[in-house]
């Protein structure tokens, strides 16, 4: 099975962006048509072969994308967490303290 990367807080919004932009069928199935396990695969730098989710952005590129698309980070996080919960998928940034 798939091993989780250590979730780094500074990558959380990158992860949440990928969850929100991902093909909803992938989230529902827990894998993509190319058989990438999600959301684990969202932690990797590469994008899906079938373009089910976007490529991992450099930090400055992500900031530019956030500005360009006028993304509200609080809403992005809430939407991603909702999609993960709705599809019974693990969130590596969810604290279980």
DSSP letters for the chain: -PPPPPPPGGGHHHHHHHHHHS-HHHHHHTB-TT--BTTGGGGSSSPPTT-SSPPPPPHHHHHHHHHHTT--HHHHHHHHHHHHHHTT---TT----
Residue 66 belongs to some domain of the structure = yes
What does the pLDDT average to over 70-77? Answer: 94
Residue 75 belongs to some domain of the structure = yes
Residue 95 belongs to some domain of the structure = no
For residue 87, is pLDDT > 60? yes
The pLDDT value given to residue 3 = 44
Residue 94 belongs to some domain of the structure = no
Residue 25 belongs to some domain of the structure = yes
pTM greater than 0.75: yes
Digit-coded pLDDT (tens) for 41-72: 888 888 778 888 888 888 889 889 999 999 99
- Please tell me the total count of domains within the chain: 1
Q: Residue 24 sits in which domain range?
A: 9-86
The pLDDT value given to residue 51 = 85
Residue 2 belongs to some domain of the structure = no
Digit-coded pLDDT (tens) for 2-37: 444 455 667 889 999 999 999 999 999 998 888 878
The pLDDT value given to residue 67 = 93
The pLDDT value given to residue 4 = 46
């Amino acid at each position: 099975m798939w091993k989780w990367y250590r979730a780094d807080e500074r990558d959380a919004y990158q992860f949440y962006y990928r969850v929100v932009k991902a093909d909803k069928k992938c989230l529902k199935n827990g894998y993509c048509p190319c058989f990438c396990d999600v959301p684990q695969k969202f932690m990797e730098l590469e994008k899906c072969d079938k373009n089910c989710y976007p490529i991992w952005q450099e930090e400055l590129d992500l900031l530019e994308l956030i500005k360009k698309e006028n993304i509200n980070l609080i809403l992005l996080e809430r939407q991603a967490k909702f999609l993960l919960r709705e599809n019974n998928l693990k969130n590596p940034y969810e604290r279980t303290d």
